[in-house]
């Protein structure tokens, strides 16, 4: 059974991004974003369970939005006003509903990277 998961690592402090807010959207054919789920990452920087799985995991385009600047502000990290990174949106596609799609984010107040994990 396929599923969608996420995980965020705070590369500025060398730890999981516990407490970061993440919102999942489904993108329609016109690119409009329909909200599906909003979560707060746990102590390990992960969602407590899959964001989508079973019948809720459908072929299509999706967006995860990570509240990077709010997370670093809550940690007391000094940021510019406005911060260099506010929210980080990641658009991706799901083509195989039997597969595991893991979307990790490595983030600092000044940079981020992602990849399809396992």
Query: How far apart are alpha carbons 89 and 85 in whole angstroms?
Result: 10
Contact 86, 110 (CB under 8 A): no
Annotated binding site for substrate: 7, 46, 115
Contact 58, 97 (CB under 8 A): yes
Query: How far apart are alpha carbons 68 and 8 in whole angstroms?
Result: 10
C-alpha distances out from residue 13 to 44, 52, 74, Å:
14, 29, 13
Annotated binding site: 7, 46, 115
């Amino acid at each position: 059974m396929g599923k969608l998961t996420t995980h965020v690592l705070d590369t500025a402090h060398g730890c999981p991004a516990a407490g970061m807010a993440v919102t999942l959207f489904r993108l329609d054919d016109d690119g409009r974003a329909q909200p599906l789920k909003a979560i707060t990452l746990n102590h390990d920087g992960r969602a407590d369970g899959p964001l989508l799985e079973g019948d809720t995991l459908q072929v299509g385009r999706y967006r995860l939005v990570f509240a990077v600047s709010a997370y670093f502000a809550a940690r007391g990290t000094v940021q510019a006003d406005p911060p260099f990174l506010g929210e980080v949106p990641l658009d991706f596609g799901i083509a195989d509903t039997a597969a595991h799609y893991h979307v990790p984010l490595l983030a600092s107040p000044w940079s981020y990277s992602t990849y399809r994990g396992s």
